[in-house]
C-alpha cells in the first residue's frame, strides 16, 4: 500500500495548516507530482490498477494523482485531510500566540482553540487570487482515525490478493492512517514526517502490518 502526499501548495510552503481549504498546487508542486509519478512507475513496474487507486476529494490531491499519471482513480472523502477547524490557514506561531502556550494539534486537538478564532475569512495570495477560509469546530483525531480505518478495510482485500494499492492524500491523514495500519494510537503519526510529493510503503510481513519504507 503506497501513500503519496500531494505536491507543494502556497500554504505547505508557509506552514499554514491546510485541512479542508481547496488550495491548488504551485508550479513547483505540479512538477513534484509529475516526478513522483515517474519514481512510482520505476519502483512499481507492475503499476496500480485503477480500481486500487484512491484520492482525497480535495483538489490538491486529485491534481497530484492526475499529474503523476493516475488520472483514472477513485475519489473518497475518507481521505480528506484532518479538519483543523480554528487552526485552518494559520501558522503554529499564530496559534501559539492565540492559545498562550505551545499548542500542538496532536496533543491538544483543533477543538481546544478558543472560539474567538472561529468564523469565515478571505485570504488573498500574492498573485491576487482569493480563497475563503472556514474556521469551524474541527475534527477530533479519533474521528479522523475512524475514516482511515474505513479506507484500510476497503483496500485490504486487494492487498491480501497481492495487488498494489495507491492512496493519494495529505500529510496528517496519511500519518494517522499509518498509525491505524500498525494498530497504534492515532497520535503515533506525530512521530512520522512526510514531505510534499513523497511516498511511503506499508505492507504485510509474516502476518504483521509493517512499514516497508518511508518518505521516499
Q: What is the pLDDT of residues 115-134, one digit of tens each?
A: 999 999 999 988 888 999 99
Residue 81 is labelled as binding a ligand: yes
**84 annotated as belonging to a binding site for a ligand:** yes
Q: Where are the alpha helices (DSSP H) in 17-140?
A: 27-43, 59-67, 92-99, 105-108
What is the arithmetic mean of pLDDT over 148-176?
Answer: 98
Distance, CA of 86 to CA of 129 (rounded, Å): 22
The C-alpha cell that represents 6 in the structure block: 500531494
Q: Any residues with CB less than 8 A from the CB of 17 and at least 6 apart, and which?
A: 11, 84, 87, 88, 89, 90, 91, 95, 105
Q: Locate the domains of the chain by residue range.
A: 2-83+148-213, 85-135
pLDDT at 201: 99
Is 83 assigned to a binding site?
A: yes
Global pTM reads 0.96
CA 3 to chain centre: 9
Mean pLDDT, to the nearest integer, of 48-58?
Answer: 98
pLDDT in tens, 57-104: 999 999 999 999 999 999 999 999 999 999 999 999 999 999 999 999
**Residue 60 assigned as binding residue:** yes
Instruction: Name the class of domain 2-83+148-213.
Output: alpha beta
Gyration radius of the chain's alpha carbons? 17
Q: Is 19 annotated as a binding residue?
A: yes
pLDDT digits (tens, 9 = 90+) for 175-185: 999 999 999 99
So which residues are the catalytic ones?
6, 81
Amino acid at each position: 500500500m503506497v501513500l503519496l502526499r500531494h505536491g507543494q501548495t502556497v500554504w505547505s510552503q508557509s506552514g499554514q495548516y491546510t485541512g479542508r481549504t481547496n488550495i491548488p498546487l504551485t508550479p513547483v508542486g505540479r512538477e513534484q507530482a509529475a516526478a513522483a509519478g515517474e519514481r512510482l512507475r520505476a519502483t512499481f513496474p507492475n503499476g496500480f490498477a485503477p480500481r486500487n487507486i484512491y484520492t482525497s476529494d480535495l483538489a490538491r490531491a486529485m491534481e497530484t494523482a492526475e499529474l503523476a499519471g493516475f488520472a483514472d482513480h477513485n475519489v473518497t472523502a475518507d481521505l480528506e485531510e484532518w479538519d483543523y477547524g480554528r487552526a485552518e490557514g494559520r501558522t503554529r506561531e499564530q496559534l501559539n500566540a492565540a492559545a498562550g502556550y505551545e499548542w500542538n494539534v496532536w496533543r491538544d486537538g483543533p477543538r481546544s482553540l478558543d472560539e474567538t478564532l472561529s468564523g469565515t475569512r478571505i485570504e488573498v495570495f500574492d498573485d491576487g487570487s482569493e480563497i475563503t477560509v472556514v474556521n469551524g469546530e474541527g475534527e477530533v483525531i479519533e474521528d479522523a482515525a475512524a475514516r482511515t480505518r474505513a479506507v484500510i478495510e476497503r483496500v485490504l482485500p486487494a492487498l491480501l490478493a497481492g495487488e498494489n494499492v495507491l492512496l493519494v492524500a495529505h500529510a496528517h491523514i496519511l500519518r494517522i492512517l499509518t498509525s491505524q495500519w500498525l494498530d497504534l494510537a492515532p497520535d503515533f503519526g506525530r512521530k512520522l514526517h512526510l514531505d510534499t510529493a513523497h511516498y511511503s510503503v506499508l505492507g504485510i510481513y509474516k502476518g504483521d502490518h509493517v512499514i516497508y519504507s518511508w518518505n521516499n
